[in-house]
């Protein structure tokens, strides 16, 4: 009995011993290099996931002063009426935080603007690029308007504090809700350098949901090339916008030569006007050239736009809600010219810019405000001359000092009999990350 | 184990943090590695770390400050110059060596020389069969580097005169892959740097004067400039770090450094 018990106990003990040894052998045989490789692989996998998310942005705090308190301005908004002759302000012009998530051929982007005015959404979209040719992409959501060169250039890269007046008027938020497609020819194609952007948008300036069910179309064709010696880079583009919004009011004014020979507006009281579409039709052309030579990189840019824009008596600004007041149909044009000069290879850059916006090309000067013409403040042409210096401290920080000389045409309208005092000086610091 | 890993990571980061960094062209990489090794042997206090990724990667790293020297097999682009200026930086360029590009075929291919015009015809897809250029009745299989490569761009500019490669051209990610493919395919043709020549492939003589004279790629013909497909290899650095990178760059340009250039298979600068 004891012998049998001892044999059984010994056998059980041997099994346990062997099992334990086997386990210990498994634990003991793992190569430290394998462990290291596994840990590194795990770290690499985690890092690859984190690398899909990028956070970029820029801050633009600035100081400004304007010649007269209360003057209207497109240099970051009107100046509030104050008591002193020269009105100044400090503001956070832009505080952009952009979150981009890339996975394979899909991108999600959320772009916010955080200033003293609050938190605003600038862009929110999904972009899908074709996997095979990598030539086509489709983007849907709240996205940037696709027209011309300056409108599509980032505010962090632009050499002047603000866009040209006509861009701020026709595209006040530079954004809209819609879908846009891009065709861009790759390096291997004979058409490399050519890019086509087309979009179908609400036409509601991106500030609200669609208000009239009428969609706007916009497109831009651009070509960009660099010379073989990498000394000259040039680009040209052509843009087109076709859209409009439904006229809520039953009144609208069309441009006409009146019975007395004056240029002005003719009232069209046809009740069929109501809910017709007031057309926004823009045609534009742009060109840019950069030359790297002895004195530093020189850049010249120019853009011209013309077309039809509906507005009110006092403004031609594109609207973001259903119109209810009288609509004025106007033919407009506008342009800008930039001269940008880098000072050798130094951190300094100087810029000179001229832009004009003529909201009504059919009337000018003392025709505006003439009795019986129905011409108003919204018909006044503005010319702006700007000069500035930029100091690029490092990869992240630059400082811009810029002066705008704003001139309006002299009219018969009260307050605009001559050029109003609305020149603006801007001192801006930008931090970009 | 976790502690050891952390210590290893810390040691590496400390080393990387104080080392001079070179980043960029995969063509320049083997040369830079050899130069760095020799330099560190005689300058033991210095540490140099060399990584590839492509010319574009190196120049982007120069803009964002994560490399001291950008290695490049092409000239800096206008857009990169503008980015550097926008970052408040000024750069300098130094040519450290030349790279001769050899056009290679399978050793069994009886064609041994081609004019530039014939090469253009082959790589753009106009010439599709070896019999059109004096070879056997055999379809031409064309290999090239990928479009992101500086070597691809140089060949397109200088041999194809900026005409586009045929859509049937097979893109390979690395020079080694081109050599291997051509050695295994009778009708294949491609191009590689002279430093990557192997006995498993045959280099063609090239004529740039419509067949009057043909020149084979070699160190001698690249040096005396009789071989036409030669490109400079660059180091780009910032003027603000010139003092710290100059000693290494001067070493690369010295007789000892240029001897290493020749040993690696690149073409040294003229004396």
Asked if the model's pLDDT at residue A423 lies above 90, the reply is yes
Q: What is the mean pLDDT of chain A?
A: 88
Asked if the model's pLDDT at residue A257 lies above 90, the reply is no
pLDDT value of residue A22: 46
Q: Taking the domains of chain B in order of start, what are their residue ranges? A: 2-98+233-264, 99-223
Asked if the model's pLDDT at residue A323 lies above 60, the reply is yes
CATH for B99-223? 3.40.190.10
Asked if the model's pLDDT at residue A188 lies above 80, the reply is no
Residues 87-106 of A with CB under 8 A from B: none
pLDDT value of residue A246: 84
Of all residues in chain B, the one with the smallest CA distance to A292 is B78
Domain count, chain A: 1
Of all residues in chain A, the one with the smallest CA distance to B65 is A395
Q: By the CB < 8 Å criterion, does A6 face chain B?
A: no
Of all residues in chain A, the one with the smallest CA distance to B79 is A233
Of all residues in chain B, the one with the smallest CA distance to A133 is B167
Between CA A203 and CA B22 the distance in angstroms is: 50
Query: In CATH terms, are B2-98+233-264 and B99-223 the same topology?
Result: yes
Higher pLDDT, A302 or B64: A302
Per-residue 3-state assignment (H helix, E strand, C coil) for chain B: CHHHHHHHHHHHHHHHHHCEEEEECCCCHHHHHHHHHHHHHHCCCCCEEEECCCHHHHHHHHHHCCCCEEEECCCCCHHHHHHHHHCCCCEEEEEEEEEEEEEEECCCCCCCEEEHHHHHHHHCCCCCEHHHHCCCCCECEEEEECCCCHHHHHHHHHCCCCCCCCCCCEEECCHHHHHHHHHHCCCEEEEEEHHHCCCCCEECEEECCCCCCCECCCHHHHHCCCCCCEEEEEEEEEHHHHHHHHHHHHHHHCHHHHHHHHHHCCECCCC
Nearest beta carbon to residue A188 from set B85, B91, B164? B164
Nearest beta carbon to residue B147 from set A39, A187, A345? A187
Residue B218 CB contacts under 8 Å (≥ 6 apart), including other chains: B100, B194, B227
Question: What DSSP letter does each residue of A88-152 carry, written as one string?
Answer: EEEEEEEEEEEEEEEETTEEEEEEEEEETTEEEEEEEEEEEE-SSSS-EEEEEEEEE---SSTTT
Element (H, E) at A284: strand A277-293
Asked if the model's pLDDT at residue A313 lies above 50, the reply is yes
pLDDT tens, position by position, A371-406: 989 899 999 999 999 999 999 999 999 999 999 999
pLDDT value of residue A79: 82
Look at A226 and B85 and tell me if their CB atoms are within 8 Å. Answer: no
Q: Does domain B2-98+233-264 have CATH number 3.90.660.10?
A: no
Between CA A266 and CA B262 the distance in angstroms is: 83
**B contact set with A (CB within 8 A):** 1, 5, 63-65, 75-79, 81-82, 85-91, 147, 157, 162, 164-165, 167, 239
pLDDT tens, position by position, A283-293: 999 999 999 99
Between CA B23 and CA B61 the distance in angstroms is: 7
Residue A268 lies in a domain: yes
pLDDT value of residue A383: 97
pLDDT tens, position by position, A50-67: 999 999 999 999 999 998
Q: A6 is in which domain, residue-wise?
A: 2-25+54-432
Q: Provide the 3-class DSSP secondary structure of residue A155.
A: coil
CATH number of the domain that A280 lies in?
Answer: 2.40.160.10
β-bridge partners, A24: none
pLDDT value of residue A80: 74
Please, are residues A363 and A375 in contact by the beta-carbon 8 Å criterion? yes
CB-CB neighbors (< 8 A) of A229 in chain B: 75
Look at B5 and A36 and tell me if their CB atoms are within 8 Å. Answer: yes
Element (H, E) at A162: none
Residue A46 lies in a domain: no
Cα dist from A213 to A93, A174, A176, A210, whole Å: 33, 20, 14, 6
CB-CB neighbors (< 8 A) of A347 in chain B: 88
What is the DSSP secondary structure assignment for residue A295, as one 8-state letter? Answer: T
Between CA B149 and CA A417 the distance in angstroms is: 63
Residue B114 CB contacts under 8 Å (≥ 6 apart), including other chains: B103, B122, B133, B204, B205, B206, B207
Model confidence at A254, pLDDT cuts 50, 70, 90, reads: confident
CB-CB neighbors (< 8 A) of B147 in chain A: 186-188
What is the DSSP secondary structure assignment for residue A368, as one 8-state letter? Answer: T
Asked if the model's pLDDT at residue A43 lies above 70, the reply is yes
- Write out residues in chain B with pLDDT < 50, as ranges: 14-17
pLDDT tens, position by position, A120-141: 999 999 999 998 888 999 999 9
Residues 15-74 of A with CB under 8 A from B: 32, 35-36, 39
Asked if the model's pLDDT at residue A118 lies above 80, the reply is yes
Residue A202 lies in a domain: yes
Please, are residues A83 and A69 in contact by the beta-carbon 8 Å criterion? yes
Higher pLDDT, B55 or A300: A300
pLDDT value of residue A273: 64
Look at B1 and A32 and tell me if their CB atoms are within 8 Å. Answer: yes
Residue A290 CB contacts under 8 Å (≥ 6 apart), including other chains: A232, A233, A234, A297, A298, A299, B78, B82
Between CA A168 and CA A245 the distance in angstroms is: 18
Side-chain half-sphere of B190: how many Cα atoms within 13 Å?
Answer: 34
pTM of structure: 0.84
Of all residues in chain B, the one with the smallest CA distance to A298 is B82
Between CA A245 and CA A116 the distance in angstroms is: 32
Asked if the model's pLDDT at residue A23 lies above 50, the reply is no
Of all residues in chain B, the one with the smallest CA distance to A226 is B78
Higher pLDDT, A5 or A420: A420
Nearest beta carbon to residue B88 from set A187, A297, A395? A395
pLDDT value of residue A24: 47
Residue A327 lies in a domain: yes
Asked if the model's pLDDT at residue A277 lies above 90, the reply is no
Which of the given ranges, A45-54, A355-364, B142-151, has the highest pLDDT on average? A355-364
Asked if the model's pLDDT at residue A84 lies above 80, the reply is no
Q: Of the given ranges (A153-162, A352-361, B167-176), which has the lowest mean pLDDT? A: B167-176
Does ipTM top 0.85?
Answer: no
Please, are residues A326 and A249 in contact by the beta-carbon 8 Å criterion? yes
Residue A39 lies in a domain: no
CB-CB neighbors (< 8 A) of B164 in chain A: 188-190, 192
């Amino acid at each position: 009995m004891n012998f049998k018990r001892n044999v059984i106990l010994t056998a059980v003990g041997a099994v346990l011993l062997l099992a334990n040894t086997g386990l210990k052998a498994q634990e003991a045989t793992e190569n430290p290099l394998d462990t290291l490789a596994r840990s590194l692989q795990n770290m690499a996998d985690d890092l690859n996931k984190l690398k899909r998310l990028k956070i970029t942005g820029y801050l633009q705090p600035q100081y400004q002063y304007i010649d007269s308190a209360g003057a209207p301005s497109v240099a970051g908004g009107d100046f509030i009426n104050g008591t002193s002759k020269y009105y100044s302000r400090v503001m956070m012009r832009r505080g952009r935080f952009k979150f981009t998530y890339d996975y394979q051929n899909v991108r999600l982007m959320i772009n916010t603007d955080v200033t003293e005015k609050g938190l605003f959404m600038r862009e929110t979209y999904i972009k899908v690029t074709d996997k095979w040719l990598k030539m086509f992409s489709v983007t849907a959501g709240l996205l940037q308007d696709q027209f011309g060169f300056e409108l599509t250039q980032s505010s962090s890269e632009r050499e002047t504090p603000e866009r040209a007046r006509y861009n701020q008027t026709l595209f006040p938020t530079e954004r809209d809700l819609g879908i846009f497609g891009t065709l861009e020819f790759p390096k291997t194609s004979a058409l490399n350098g050519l890019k086509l952007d087309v979009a179908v948008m609400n036409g509601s300036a991106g500030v609200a949901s669609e208000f009239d069910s009428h969609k706007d179309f916009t497109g831009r064709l651009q070509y960009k090339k660099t010379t073989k010696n990498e000394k000259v880079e040039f680009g040209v583009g052509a843009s087109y916008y076709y859209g409009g919004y439904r006229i809520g009011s039953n009144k609208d004014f069309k441009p006409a030569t009146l019975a007395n020979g004056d240029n002005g507006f003719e009232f069209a009281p046809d009740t069929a006007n109501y809910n017709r579409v007031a057309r926004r039709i823009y045609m534009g052309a742009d060109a840019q050239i950069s030359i790297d030579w002895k004195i530093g990189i020189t850049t010249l840019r120019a853009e011209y736009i013309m077309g039809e824009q509906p507005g009110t008596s006092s403004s031609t600004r594109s609207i973001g809600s259903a119109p209810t007041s009288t609509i004025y149909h106007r033919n407009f044009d506008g342009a800008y010219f930039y001269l940008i000069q880098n000072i050798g290879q130094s951190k300094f850059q100087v810029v000179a810019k001229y832009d004009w916006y003529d909201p009504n090309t059919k009337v000018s000067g003392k025709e505006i405000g003439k009795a019986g013409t129905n011409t108003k403040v919204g018909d006044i042409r503005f010319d702006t001359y700007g000069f500035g210096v930029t100091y690029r401290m490092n990869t992240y920080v630059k400082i811009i000092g810029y002066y705008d000389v704003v001139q309006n045409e002299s009219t018969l309208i009260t307050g605009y009999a001559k050029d109003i005092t609305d020149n603006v000086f801007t001192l801006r610091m930008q931090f970009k990350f | 184990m976790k502690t050891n890993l952390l210590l290893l990571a810390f040691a590496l980061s400390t080393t990387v943090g104080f080392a001079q960094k070179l980043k960029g062209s995969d063509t320049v990489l083997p040369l830079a590695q050899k130069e760095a090794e020799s330099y560190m042997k005689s300058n033991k206090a210095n540490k140099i770390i060399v990584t590839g990724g492509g010319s574009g990667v190196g120049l982007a790293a120069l803009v964002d400050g994560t490399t001291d020297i950008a290695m490049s097999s092409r000239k800096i682009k206008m857009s990169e110059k503008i980015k550097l200026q926008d970052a408040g930086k000024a750069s300098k360029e130094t040519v450290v060596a030349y790279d001769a590009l050899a056009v290679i075929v399978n050793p069994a291919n009886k064609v041994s020389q081609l004019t530039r015009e014939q090469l253009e015809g082959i790589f753009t897809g106009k010439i599709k069969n070896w019999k059109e250029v004096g070879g056997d009745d055999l379809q031409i299989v064309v290999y090239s580097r990928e479009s992101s490569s500086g070597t691809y761009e140089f060949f397109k500019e200088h041999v194809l005169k900026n005409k586009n490669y045929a859509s049937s051209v097979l893109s390979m990610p690395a020079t080694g892959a081109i050599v291997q493919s051509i050695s295994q395919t009778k009708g294949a043709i491609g191009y590689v740097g002279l430093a990557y020549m192997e006995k498993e492939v045959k280099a063609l003589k090239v004529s740039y004067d419509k067949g009057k004279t043909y020149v084979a790629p070699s160190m001698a013909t690249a040096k005396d400039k009789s071989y036409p497909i030669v490109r400079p290899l660059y180091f780009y650095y910032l003027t603000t770090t010139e003092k710290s990178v100059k000693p290494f760059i001067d070493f690369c340009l010295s007789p000892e450094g240029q001897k290493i250039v020749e040993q690696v298979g690149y073409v040294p600068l003229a004396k």
